Structure 1
Amino acid sequence: MTAPSLATRDLTIRFGGHVAVNAVTAEFYPGTLTVIVGPNGAGKTTYFNLVSGQLPATSGSVFVGGQDVTRLGPARRTRLGVGRAFQLTNLFPHLTVLENVRLAVQSRAGIGMSMLSLWFGHKEVIQRAEHYLERVSMSGKRASLVGTLSHGDQRKLEVAILLALEPSILMFDEPTAGMSVDEVPVVLDLIHQVKAERNRTVLLVEHKMDVVRQLADRIVVLHNGTLVADGQPAEVMQSKIVQEAYLGTPEPA
């Protein structure tokens, strides 16, 4: 059986007397897109913060490729292949769209910012950056300052930057939140493409059930910080706890 690319064991975080994530044990595999659902305050984004290293766990463990990364910070986890979008706006507003993606390409290639590195491989770096901008339909805005972009375009740019880092584990926290109706399909199509490649592990926090139905290979349900359901979409969506708490109890025929 394929080994999990990401796993958590009894992962827990407390804020004072409040347990925000409570002993969550789960495994995630390459080629699978898992959607994490639950009501507001269920612990979904906090769980993401623990996995990506933004928050230190009170107890429990996080494993990436079998390696215990519980004590590693987010930068080290990124180098091990954990990529996260939409937790914060990590864009450079006074640089252009292309320059933001170019920096991600350089980071992935291990090219520093010395004068020599600015010239070495410059053409290839630009070509790679252009490739990722094309994937998010933003080539036409390559010269725009990021600070002038709409919220939706900034989110698409974040996806381009994430893809440019070439992570093996991609984490999307409500990727379509705040987007216009016209902008949503671009990001959903990109996630579909990544899923179709079947060589990466994708985790997605999402409230919109139509998006969940489109994308999920598997659904994990959190409630009050506790994992209460985990399985195939059809099975989980029909479970009593999901019907009552998240989807609404269906009316009798």
Structure 2
Amino acid sequence: MSQPSLVTKDLTIRFGGHVAVDRVSCAFRPGELTAIVGPNGAGKTTYFNLISGQLSPTAGRVELLGQDITRFTVSARTHAGLGRAFQLTNLFPRLTVLENVRLVVQARARRGFNLFTMAQSHRDLTEQAAQVLEQVRLTHLADQTVSALSHGDQRKLEVAALIALKPKVFMFDEPTAGMSVEEAPVILDLIAGIKADPEATVLLVEHKMDVIRSLADRIMVLHNGALVADGAPAEVMASDIVQEAYLGKELTDV
């Protein structure tokens, strides 16, 4: 078994008297997509926020590639190899599609942020950005302003930005939220392509059981901030406690 790329050890956060994430310990490995599920308020997004640095834990730690990153800033975690796509798009609406991805490529290369000189001095970065757009099938929209894109295309662009970061760990928080039936499969295909990389570790928060069935190698179930089930999808889905108390009838209805 490969060494874990990401580990959480007794990760905990309290808001006043409320324990939102309660001593969650897990290891995530390359070549594996883990779906994190549970009812609303279970602590899924809070757990994601602790891993990616939006929140600081009350106790416990986060390790990335064997390094303790618990006190790292969000940007430091990004440079260390952790990438996250948000439930709500996090893009530059007044820039073009290509400029958005080019900024990510440039940030990864640590070459500063001057959009007006990049075309001349950083042609290689522009070419890399164009390659990513081709990968996510957005080349035809390269010169389109992001604010003019459909919701589905904005989500594709967000995945493109994440791919451009070349992280070791990819984190997706409900990637198909708000998308039409026609748009969602494109995003799922992109995630499946990332999952196919044996060096990529993928974490996915998702409510849709059909999505989980199609993508997950493993399922973690959180309830009241605690980890209550963790294992192969068939095993977790067959668990009475998960079906009845945590995932409800949706599991068998989908």
TM-score by length of structure 2 reads 0.94
Structure 1 residue 40: deviation in Å? 0.6
Structure 1 counterpart of 2:80: 80
Alpha-carbon deviation of 1:87? 4.3
CA contact (8 A) 1:91 1:158 kept: yes
Q: CA deviation at 1:170?
A: 0.0
Alpha carbons of structure 1 residues 66 and 179: separation in structure 2 relative to 1, 3 Å: same
C-alpha distance in 2 between matches for 1:57 and 1:142 = 39
Distance 2:248 2:195 in 1: 25
Contact 1:137 1:186 in 2 (8 A): no
In structure 1, distance between residues paired with 2:251 and 2:66: 41
| Secondary structure in 2 matching 1:188 | helix
Alignment of 1:84-233 (within 5 A): 84-113=84-113, 119-122=120-123, 124-233=124-233
Q: Which residue identity does 2:35 align to in structure 1?
A: V
Deviations 1:77-100 (A, max 9, x none): 001100000244321111111100
CA RMSD of aligned residues (A): 1.7
Structure 1 position 179, deviation (Å): 0.7
Q: Which amino acid aligns with 1:231?
A: G
SS in 1 for 2:196: helix
Distance 2:77 2:250 in 1: 40
| In structure 1, C-alpha distance between the alignment counterparts of 2:250 and 2:156, rounded to whole Å | 35
SS, match of residue 204 in structure 2: strand
| Amino acid of the structure 2 residue aligned with 1:36 | I
The answer for the alignment partner of 1:235 in structure 2 is: 235
User: Helix, strand or coil for the counterpart of 2:25?
Assistant: strand
CA contact (8 A) 2:136 2:160 kept: yes
1:120 Cα shift? 2.4
Whole-angstrom CA distance in 2 between matches of 1:60 and 1:106: 33
Q: 3-state DSSP class of the match of 2:143?
A: coil
User: 2:143 is matched by which residue type in structure 1?
Assistant: A
| Uncovered stretches (5+) of structure 1, i.e. residues with no partner | none
1:137 CA drift (Å): 1.6
1:58-69 correspondence to structure 2 within 5 Å: 58-69=58-69
Q: Which secondary structure does the structure 2 equivalent of 1:197 belong to? A: coil
Task: Give, in angstroms, the shift of residue 12 of structure 1.
Answer: 0.5
Runs of 4+, deviation exceeding 2 Å = 87-90, 113-121, 247-251
Gaps of 5+ in 2: none
Q: Shift of the alpha carbon at 1:249?
A: 9.0
Q: Shift of residue 162 of structure 1? A: 0.4
Cα distance in 1, alignment partners of residues 55 and 32 from structure 2: 25
Secondary structure of the corresponding residue to residue 176 of structure 1:
coil
- SS of equivalent residue, structure 1 residue 164: helix
Give the superposition deviation at 1:243: 1.1
Mapped partners of 1:250, 1:86: distance in 2: 25
Q: Counterpart in 2 of 1:33?
A: 33
Q: Deviations over 1:70-123 (max 9, x none)?
A: 11111100011000002443211111111001101111222223576653232x
What TM-score do you get using the length of structure 1 for normalisation?
0.94
Q: Distance in 2 between matches of 1:36 and 1:249?
A: 16
